[in-house]
A and B are shown apart, each in its own frame.
Chain A
Amino acid sequence: MNNKVWMSVALAVFLVACKSAPVTPAKVEDKSGGANTSASTGTDSDANGIKEVNIDSNANNSDANNPLRDPNNILSKRNIYFDYNSDAVKAEFRPVVEAHAQYLKTHQDAKVILQGNTDERGTREYNLSLGQRRSVSVKKALNLLGVQDQQIETVSYGEEKASVNCTDEDCFQQNRRVDVVYQGE
């Protein structure tokens, strides 16, 4: 069997059939072992019909003069990387953490979301909890620098933003990080 033929047929099936239709089950009367019995029609029942919902966020990405977005400003650095199986903030990321602490202290209305991330090894929900540890670790570092709890939310993406199919440590390391995201971004 030619793989390309199979794939193109499969794709054609998918393209032709991309419109959803509700499942309307046939009603069946079972009189097993006996004579055939007529069943009623199934058009009145649509209990399995599925309605699709679309949800798309519309993030605000404007404001060119924002120091948070100036590539020459340290505040544009938003990634803090971690060692394997560790939630300790490494010394090399202290300047980044300090810069964001300073910004938050001078902008009391600003709120930051710390998004923890893991590599893809392990289950999604467990990795969500592991990523949370890293975001809490960065939060504690900000707290120690005087940032108030109400300006910080710690969440996790787990492995959802991980580059998949990593085969070496450099790749895995890119996934073990906390992303600093300001509210409204």
Chain B
Amino acid sequence: MKVISNSIISLLMLAVSFLASTQANAALEIEISGGGAQQIPVAILPFAEPAGISSKDSIHEIVAADLKRSGMFRVLDTRGMANLPTSPNQIKYAEWSALQAQAMTVGTVESLGGGRFKVTFQLMDVLKQTQLIGMDYQITSSQVRATAHKIADAIYEKLTGERGVFGSRIAYINKIGKRYTLQVSDADGFNAQNVVSSNEPIISPAWSPDGSKMAYVSFEKKKPIVYVQSLTSGARKVLANYKGNNSAPSWSPDGSKLAIVLTYGANSQIYIIDADGGNLKQVTKSNAIDTEPAYSPDGKFIYFSSDRGGKPQIYKVPASGGDATRVTFEGAYNVSPHFSPDGRYLTYIRNDGGKFKVALQDLSNGQVQLLSEGSQDESPSFSPNGRLILYATKVRGRGTLAAVSSDGRVRQKLSESTGDVREPAWAPLAK
């Protein structure tokens, strides 16, 4: 509880400093529960900042919030420290090893004039008293948050050996009143930008593998139709508008095709269509519901939900067509399969005694772990480094986003301050 109220207060401070920013959009509230067994203790010190930039987003607070959210770090409280150095030569290492910091960051922001700033930071090894990272960034004030996320990514990668995802983006549908908006924000929920909005429902956003386009289902013509939209130009085109439903788009790993679901006059079946809308081909042929296709990362298989065996379970079929084989065997309702980037794990939703939870299956040995505790969890998708699973949940009847580490240890909620948020999808990392 203490952790939660502290993080709300620090977020409130962030939100206040946010008022001055022209970049800011809706803020997400972040709650963290649990923690990794081996958290790395780090000290993230305030940057020396020139007068006049103090009302901007505070870089060290954004970095600290990122590292905390990952569950991999214990960010130390530096408020009681007598000396707060801003460059390596000012550091009195004994003070920081007494605080049990393994690593610490120092940095400065200099004004270059004309609205430009130079951000300098160093990551130092406290025990060895050596520099691990040193970087400069020349930015405008609108790039402060993006730069802070890059700093957090650099620290994360240096200290854990894995790629960070703080600089990546997420997409989701935000329903405010009766209006549906597909939004893209930074992974921490800040800097939300509208992609498309409508008075009719929008569901199932799917990032193209290069992150430049989004496929989604819109009901603007009183029926589900699949659209593909360029994020940079806003150009949108109908991918599939056949008789009946058109839904559940999933990109092939090379971005050349999408698996979609069509019904014509009967039950949902899976088809493959070229990304330009041509060359439609039916993949599954059953008298049951076949839906929610997901390409395996090697592009060879399409996993999907089907009630061909009575209750809905996950099956796979060769992308070139052929016989389907069953993938899930535990539980009476398993739907919405999504792959980890390395193809080893499958996450999906299980109905566990009336509660819909995020499940994780190790495809190498079939072992399943339930990762979430919510009763109406949906739409799980992996972060690009495979460490976190983002999903939709409900808190007091309102849709919010949540994430759980793939080892189940760290959970966080990202709740939008207005609206009903659902259908999240984590973007691939920019190449």
Which residues on A are within 8 Å of B, measured CB to CB?
1, 6-7, 9-14, 16-26, 28-43, 46-57, 59, 113, 115, 120-126, 128-130, 132-133, 136, 139, 149, 152-158, 160-161, 164-165, 181
Chain B residues near A20 (CB-CB < 8 A): 25, 193-194
Residues in B lying within 8 Å of A, measured CB to CB: 5, 8-9, 12, 15-16, 18-19, 21-27, 29, 116, 120, 122, 131-140, 142-143, 146-147, 150, 154, 158, 167, 169, 184, 191, 193-201, 203-204, 218-224, 229-234, 236, 243-245, 247-248, 261, 263, 265-268, 289, 291-292, 305, 312, 333, 335-336, 349, 351, 356, 376, 378-379, 397, 417-418, 422-423, 430
For B14, the closest partner residue in chain A by CB is A13
Asked whether, in the complex, the Cβ of A41 is within 8 Å of the Cβ of B223, the reply is no
- A41–B138 touching, CB < 8 Å: yes
Rounded to whole angstroms, the CA-CA distance of A26 and B59 in the bound complex is: 14
Q: List residues of chain B with CB within 8 A of the CB of A12.
A: 19
In angstroms, how far is the closest chain A Cβ from the Cβ of B103? 13
Contact of A123 among B15, B193, B196, B349 (CB under 8 A): B349
Q: Which residues of B contact A154 (CB under 8 A)?
A: 244, 263, 265-266
- A42 engages B143 (CB within 8 Å): yes
Interface of A is mostly: loop
Contact of A125 among B138, B196, B261 (CB under 8 A): B261
Q: Quick check: B291 and A6 within 8 Å, CB to CB?
A: no
Please give the distance in Å from B351's CB to the nearest CB on chain A.
7
Residues of chain B lying within 8 A (CB to CB) of residue A36: 120, 122, 134-136
Residue contact B219 to A126, C-beta cutoff 8 Å: no
Query: A52: which of B134, B194, B244, B292 is its contact (CB, 8 Å)?
Result: B194
13 pairs of residues in contact across A and B, judged by CB atoms under 8 Å? A9-B12, A13-B19, A17-B26, A21-B23, A34-B134, A37-B135, A39-B138, A53-B234, A56-B220, A129-B263, A129-B267, A154-B265, A160-B219
Q: How many angstroms between the C-alpha atoms of A10 and B136 in the bound complex?
A: 33
Least CB distance from A84 to B in Å reads: 13
> Which of B15, B122, B199, B423 sits near A13, CB closer than 8 Å?
B15
Decide: A160 and B203 in contact? CB cutoff 8 A.
Answer: yes
CB-CB under 8 A from A7, the residues of chain B are: 417
Closest 4 CB pairs of A and B: A51-B234, A10-B417, A17-B24, A129-B268
Chain B residues near A165 (CB-CB < 8 A): 397
| CB neighbours of B218 from chain A (8 A) | 55
Residues in B with CB closer than 8 Å to A136 are 263, 265-267
Q: Contact: B378 with A123, CB < 8 Å?
A: yes
| Chain B residues, Cβ within 8 Å of A17 | 18, 21-26
> In the complex, which residues of chain A have a beta carbon less than 8 angstroms from the beta carbon of B231?
48-51
Q: Which residues of B contact A30 (CB under 8 A)?
A: 133, 135, 154
| Whole-angstrom distance between the Cβ of A5 and the nearest chain B Cβ | 8
Tell me the bound Cα distance from A158 to B199 in angstroms. Answer: 17
Q: Chain A residues near B197: list those with CB within 8 A.
A: 52-55
A126 touching B25, Cβ below 8 Å = no
A21 touching B154 by the CB < 8 A rule?
no
Q: Which residue of A lies closest to B15 (CB)?
A: A13
Judging by beta carbons under 8 Å apart, are A126 and B193 in contact?
no
Whether A39 pairs with B137 at a CB distance below 8 angstroms is yes
Quote the shortest CB–CB distance from A32 to chain B (angstroms).
5
8 Å CB contact of A156 from B184, B224, B312: B224
